[in-house]
Amino acid sequence: MLTPTLFDVTTITGLCPYEDDFDPTDLDKDTIDFDGTRAGFTKYIADHHVDDNPEVTMEERIAFLGLWLSRCVFCCKSLKVAKRYLTLAKHMHEWRNVNLGQLILGSLYTALGESTEALRNINPQDKFLLVGPFWILQLWLNATFETSLKI
């Protein structure tokens, strides 16, 4: 079967393939006082950015990692920071070894499955939005089929 593998994700991103598995049920206390009503990107940044301190605080770093994971890595559907990534952000802040490549690949396959199901049920007048880490699929396609591409 022709599909991206964990080895491909490792090669493309440079992430280590044998880090610890992340357990999302291992919830930490909310260290940044997440407010779901203010989770839009602009309000979230305003709430968690400290202007008067030149040093990056723990709260700022966890907030940034949560924003980065939601917006750039896992490419969430909404234009809000997803609370589900804040525990992962805290683990990353604490320099815990997390198998991020495995999470990205699993998220990609989940997004592919959800997109396939949505395409089966779409009406011609409906808009279709792909959500998920399709960037890794695009990079993999470019790397795998580079010699076949006519550039």
User: For residue 137, what pLDDT is reported?
Assistant: 93
Q: Where are the domains of the chain?
A: 1-19+100-151, 20-98
User: For residue 60, what pLDDT is reported?
Assistant: 86
User: For residue 125, what pLDDT is reported?
Assistant: 85
SS3 for 3-66 is: CCCHHHHHHHHCCCCCCCCCCCCCCCCCCCCCCHHHCEHHHHHHHHCCCCCCCCCHHHHHHHHH
User: For residue 27, what pLDDT is reported?
Assistant: 61
User: Mean pLDDT per 10-residue run, the chain (151 residues)?
Assistant: 86 84 67 72 78 81 88 84 83 86 92 90 85 92 81 63
User: pTM for this structure?
Assistant: 0.80
CA distance 2 to 147: 16
* Residue recorded with tokens 């009503």: 37
